[in-house]
Amino acid sequence: MTRRVGVEEEFLIVDSVSGLPVALGGVLERLSDYPCLSSEMKQEQIETCTHPRISLQELAGDITAGRKSADAAARLAGARSAALAASPLPVDSTVAPGERCDRLMQRFGLTAVEQLTCGCHVHVEVESDEEGVAVLDRIRNWLPVLMAISSNSPYWNGVDSAYASYRSQAWNRWPTTGPAGIYGSAEAYHRQIQQILNSGVPLDKANLYFDSRLSHHHPTVEVRVADVCLFADDTVLLAALVRGLVETAARQWRAGVPPVPLSAVQLGLASWQASRFGLEGDLLDPETGTPRAAVEVVTALVDHIRSVLVDQGELATVEFLLFQVLSRGTGAARQREVYVRTGSLGETVADAVHVTNLPVTPLADSAGSPLVTTGQIATDQTI
286 is in which domain, residue-wise? 5-356
Confidence grade of residue 376 (pLDDT, cut at 50, 70, 90)? very low
- pLDDT of the residue at 208: 93
Quick one: angle between helices 232-254 and 315-328, nearest 10?
130
Alpha-carbon distance 274 to 168, whole Å?
10
Note whether residue 249 is domain-resident.
yes
Alpha-carbon distance 374 to 103, whole Å?
45
Q: For residue 304, give every residue at least 6 positions away whose Cβ sits within 8 Å of its Cβ, in sequence order, or none.
A: 142, 245, 248
Confidence grade of residue 364 (pLDDT, cut at 50, 70, 90)? low
Alpha-carbon distance 41 to 279, whole Å?
30
Radius of gyration, alpha carbons of the chain: 19
Note whether residue 195 is domain-resident.
yes
- pLDDT of the residue at 27: 80
8 Å CB contact between 318 and 244:
yes
Note whether residue 374 is domain-resident.
no
Alpha-carbon distance 40 to 29, whole Å?
10
- pLDDT one-digit tens code per residue, 203-252: 999 899 999 999 988 999 999 999 999 999 999 999 999 999 999 999 99
Alpha-carbon distance 165 to 153, whole Å?
5
- pLDDT one-digit tens code per residue, 29-80: 777 676 778 888 899 999 999 999 999 999 999 999 999 999 999 998 899 9
Note whether residue 362 is domain-resident.
no
Note whether residue 380 is domain-resident.
no
Note whether residue 375 is domain-resident.
no
Instruction: Please tell me the total count of domains within the chain.
Output: 1
Closest among 283, 339, 331 to 89, alpha carbons compared: 339
- pLDDT of the residue at 327: 96
Q: How many helices (H) and strands (E) does the chain have?
A: 14, 13
8 Å CB contact between 93 and 114:
yes
Alpha-carbon distance 334 to 358, whole Å?
14
8 Å CB contact between 53 and 31:
no
Q: Where are the beta strands (DSSP E) in the chain?
A: 5-15, 37-39, 45-49, 79-82, 119-125, 155-156, 159-160, 177-178, 209-210, 212-214, 220-227, 282-284, 291-293
Note whether residue 127 is domain-resident.
yes
Note whether residue 381 is domain-resident.
no
In this structure, what CATH number is given to the domain that contains residue 209?
3.30.590.20
Whole-number percent of the chain with pLDDT over 70: 94
